[in-house]
Amino acid sequence: MITNTEAMPAPFHAISLYCTLCGSDKEYHIQIQPAGNELYTVNIQYGRRGSSLTAGTKTPRPVSLEAAQKIYNKLAGEKTSKGYAAGRNGQAFQPTPLAQKDTGLQPQLLNSIDESDLSTYLTHPGYWMQEKKNGRRRRIRKTGKEIVGTNKLGWAIALAEPLIDAVRALPIHTLELDGEEIGDTLHCFDLTYADRAYSDLTYDQRYDCLGSLLARSPQANLQLIPTAYRTEEKQALFTLLQQQNAEGVVFKDFSAPYTAGRPASGGPQLKFKFLATGSFIVVAHNAKRSVQIGALTASGIQNMSNVTIPMNHTIPPLGSTVEIQYLYAFPLTHALFQPVYLGEREDVVAAECVLSQLKYIQDSQLHPD
């Protein structure tokens, strides 16, 4: 643990703790990360060793170095008092060197389409369709043996060791993959660099190169996202994914280059979700594992709904951003119908938690014939 503010030699500190008491096999990771302007955050990852770890922060807003150290020391002290120890049986989780937090490796982000637009893209010969995986967006850069993973903000994040090993094993010196991370697997759908820039190529060219690379050097932790091309294939896959309760689908213009960021509207890559999800701000803690969430409006935060936090999640701190799945929102109150807590979103800033993201119930649902 850090005990001397003056003696701190570097802007990044981390500790990895493990617990095997009473048959358990758990890990807990804590990092102090620079956030600019001499401010810092304290981030954590925890869970059963070898499984997908839950990530979070103990500082919804950056704090001074002194405050960050107090939080860091308190967390480490609490965990060691409960039987955790440092360095037990090696590390199963690799922290990214977060002094390089903003990597500049921004992903191409998608706008949503309405149900009324579906038939257009299902039948359009210029758009391919893929499953929208319910994971975390990741771009991964390989330079020799060095591997850097980023979230949808372009910030460096920690990756599971099996995924790092899989990327490192690919026979390309400099590589940039794009995909959705679930557990320790990256479901790959784009390739933007392979010893030269691919971002100016059309999507069909990039996807073909990605498929060839993964087929030439198969890695269990790197999976190619299947694609439907023709109308009948897209319609069949769409029906199958609905039956499987998948998150949704993505339509991609096969002739478009890779463009980082999110277009103001439309764009060459579009998403449709079967169930609505949104990012919201935690505005209050309630009794019995429940929090109140809100969204930003022009006049401030609109309080909306109470959401139960499942037992396999920690209570998110006030001010943090969380992901909620719901059926629809009511127009007058903005309350969510059947909200389900999915977890904290370290890659979503509060400014994105706007009221305009809501999917409202239609009049035909309120007053069926």
3-state secondary structure the chain: CCCCCCCCCCCCEEEEEEECHHHCCEEEEEEEEEEECCEEEEEEEEEECCCCCEEEECCCCCECHHHHHHHHHHHHHHHHHCCCEECCCCCCEECCCHHHCECCCCCECCEECCHHHHHHHHHCCCEEEEEECCCEEEEEEEECCEEEEECCCCEEECEEHHHHHHHHCCCCCEEEEEEEEECCEEEEEEEEEECCECCCCCHHHHHHHHHHHHHHCCECCEEECCEECCHHHHHHHHHHHHHCCCCEEEEEECCCCCCCECCCCCCCEEEEECCEEEEEEEEEEECCCEEEEEEEECCEEEEEEEEECCCCCCCCCCCCEEEEEECEECCCCCCEECCEEEEECCCCCHHHCEHHHCCECCHHHHCCC
Q: Chain-wide mean pLDDT for the chain?
A: 85
pLDDT score of 339 = 94
pLDDT score of 69 = 81
Of the pLDDT bands very low, low, confident and very high (cuts 50, 70, 90), residue 6 is very low
pLDDT score of 191 = 98
pLDDT score of 22 = 58
**pLDDT higher than threshold 50 for residue 8:** no
Of the pLDDT bands very low, low, confident and very high (cuts 50, 70, 90), residue 235 is very high
Averaged pLDDT for residues 115-124: 95
**pLDDT higher than threshold 50 for residue 94:** no
- Number of Cβ within 10 Å of residue 4's Cβ equals 7
pLDDT score of 65 = 83
Averaged pLDDT for residues 286-297: 91
Averaged pLDDT for residues 28-50: 82
Of the pLDDT bands very low, low, confident and very high (cuts 50, 70, 90), residue 183 is confident
| CA–CA separation, 30 and 75 (whole Å) | 8
Averaged pLDDT for residues 68-82: 78
Highest averaged pLDDT of the listed ranges 52-66, 149-163, 219-233, 296-310? 219-233
| CA–CA separation, 356 and 178 (whole Å) | 28
**pLDDT higher than threshold 70 for residue 277:** yes
Report the share of the chain in percent with pLDDT over 70: 88
| CA–CA separation, 345 and 313 (whole Å) | 13
pLDDT score of 177 = 98
| CA–CA separation, 63 and 61 (whole Å) | 6
Averaged pLDDT for residues 30-46: 83
Query: Which tens digit of pLDDT belongs to each residue from 346-366?
Result: 888 888 899 999 989 875 444
Q: Do 203 and 223 form a contact (C-beta atoms < 8 A)? A: no
Of the pLDDT bands very low, low, confident and very high (cuts 50, 70, 90), residue 245 is confident
Of the pLDDT bands very low, low, confident and very high (cuts 50, 70, 90), residue 369 is very low
**pLDDT higher than threshold 90 for residue 27:** no
Comparing 9 with 184, which gets the higher pLDDT? 184
